[in-house]
Structure 1
Amino acid sequence: MNKPLDYAIRYSRRKTAAIHITQQGVELRLPHGVSESWGHQFIQQKRDWIERKLKEQSRYTQHIPNLEWGSTILWHGQPVPLTYQPATQASLKLTPHGFVFSAKTEPNKEIRKKWLADFFKQEARNYLTSLTNEKVAALNLQDQLKAVRLRYTKSKWGHCSSVGNIQYNWLIMGAPFEVIDYLVCHEVSHLIHLNHSPAFWQQVAKICPDYKKHQAWLKQEGVRLAWF
């Protein structure tokens, strides 16, 4: 006998039923007026698909860094351990021995996450702004670039708006230098082509010939950057 599926039902003003697999579990979203009994039948019809997606998610989450002492996170593509040393002054430093958290008492996981986020944001602000300006200047696109910004998102590594604002997910600093370079080339190319047309990808290839390899790294290994 199959083990019962654990799922939640949520009603909304949507027009069709949909199943969402999230970190919190399985959620069935139904239009108002649809009975729960119909929803239960719908779930059973999609059971094979749900179980396949849950297995994929399980494999995915196994690679998310947990920020425990001694565990590692990626920094420029290299695994760097998290360590603690007692000290009177609180700080976080990147040393040859890893990310060293110094404080009177061991900072808990939420504090570790905040300190790491602050470190990544500061490094990203300096590095990504400089690299973006460099590539924009090489393409003579200074008039098209309005600003370089940072923002954490779950679904995007970068974004370029129609008015020339380029936005990066600061977690990208965990990726290898060449992957970061590809992301910058990708977003700068949107200043010329605000789409993903063949002409856009031709432009990306001009300034990043191996872009497909770096694109594949992000797709396959990006979960290892997702510690926040």
Structure 2
Amino acid sequence: MAEIIELGEPPIPVKLRHSARARRLSLRVSGVDGRVSLTLPRRASMREAQDFLRAKEAWIRGHLDRQPELCQIAPGAVLPVEGRERLIAPTRTRAVKLMEDHLLVPEGADKTAARVRAFLKTLARDRLAEASARHAKALGREFGKITLRDTRSRWGSCTSEGNLMYSWRLILAPAPVLDYVAAHEVAHLAQMNHSPAFWAEVARLMPDYQPHRAWLRQHGGALHRFQF
């Protein structure tokens, strides 16, 4: 069972978890929300955990200082949609509208976040369905259903039944990044692994995928800083 302890001043909450598989103490600072967790071997003591954390305190605080600030979705906030920053602006409209530099939302700040989230999910589904169908046709394969989730550990997945899952937050990334993830997951319809043969399929579907994969690794975590 996980336990929470506090480190230093101001206190940093740290989640402790004992694991039978762990052979050493393992520290992690989430790039998504800044949560700190420490995994310990089953026989490790609380004193060992505290000593280890004190020795790593400066490192932990350095990582937390570099965390992107959270952004609450509300009128006046700036939100990237398909990689382009848009100012959320309330106006007399019945539905959310995507403009070149603005995201127009119906007046009523209390519902802005929910309305924007629903709009983004619909837009993400449209873009991902189109990209998946295009890549599947090029591959000569068919996929099952598409599911959207707000996942933190992965941007997409493909089941052995051919069903595809994507994070709807991909709609915040530049369009070629979303397209790369679709190509990646569709390629699993042919290769359910990450072998050289799999990456050859990805390259066939999207020859210039490498910079988009690199963008996601470098900037993807920041897409979770937007709070709906």
- CA RMSD between the two structures: 2.7
- Shift of residue 37 of structure 1? 2.6
Aligned pair count? 214
Question: Distance in 1 between the 2:202 and 2:49 partners?
Answer: 45
The CA deviation string for residues 33-65 of structure 1, in whole angstroms up to 9 with x for no partner, is 6543332212123334423433xxx32323x54
SS in 2 for 1:201: helix
Closer/same/farther in 2, CA of residues 214 and 29 from structure 1, 3 Å limit:
closer
Distance 1:69 1:134 in 2: 36
Query: Post-superposition shift, 1:164?
Result: 0.9
Identify which range, 122-131 or 210-219, moves more after superposition: 122-131
Matches within 5 A, 1:14-29: 14-15=19-20, 16=22, 17-22=25-30, 23=33, 25-29=35-39
Deviations 1:46-103 (A, max 9, x none): 334423433xxx32323x5442433311112211110113x4x753222345111213
- 1:212 positional shift: 0.5
Deviation (angstroms), 1:24: 6.0
Identity in percent: 29
Cα pair distance change 1:221/1:40, threshold 3 Å:
closer
**Which residue is equivalent to 2:183?**
185
2:87 match: secondary structure: strand
Mapping 1:160-179, distance limit 5 Å: 160-179=158-177
Structure 2 residue matching 1:225: 3-state secondary structure = helix
- Tell me the equivalent position of 1:107: 109
Unaligned runs of 5+ in 1: none
Q: Does the 8 Å contact 1:157/1:169 carry over to 2?
A: yes
Please tell me the residue identity of whatever aligns with 2:87: P
Q: Secondary structure at the match of 1:60?
A: coil
TM-score by length of 1: 0.80
Q: Partners of 1:223 and 1:94 in 2: how far apart?
A: 24
Aligned pair 1:36/2:46, yes or no? yes
For residues 182 and 207 of structure 1, the distance between their equivalents in structure 2, rounded to whole angstroms, comes to 9
**Counterparts of 1:29 and 1:136, CA distance in 2:** 40
Three-state SS of the structure 1 residue aligned to 2:86 is strand
- Give the Å deviation of 1:215: 0.8
SS in 1 for 2:88: strand
Deviations 1:82-137 (A, max 9, x none): 0113x4x753222345111213xx323xx322211111111122221122122212
* SS, match of residue 96 in structure 2: strand
SS in 2 for 1:167: strand
Cα shift at 1:161: 1.3
User: Which runs of structure 2 are paired with 1:34-113 in the superposition (5 Å)?
Assistant: 34-54=44-64, 58-62=65-69, 64-85=70-91, 87=92, 91-96=95-100, 98-103=102-107, 106-108=108-110, 111-113=111-113
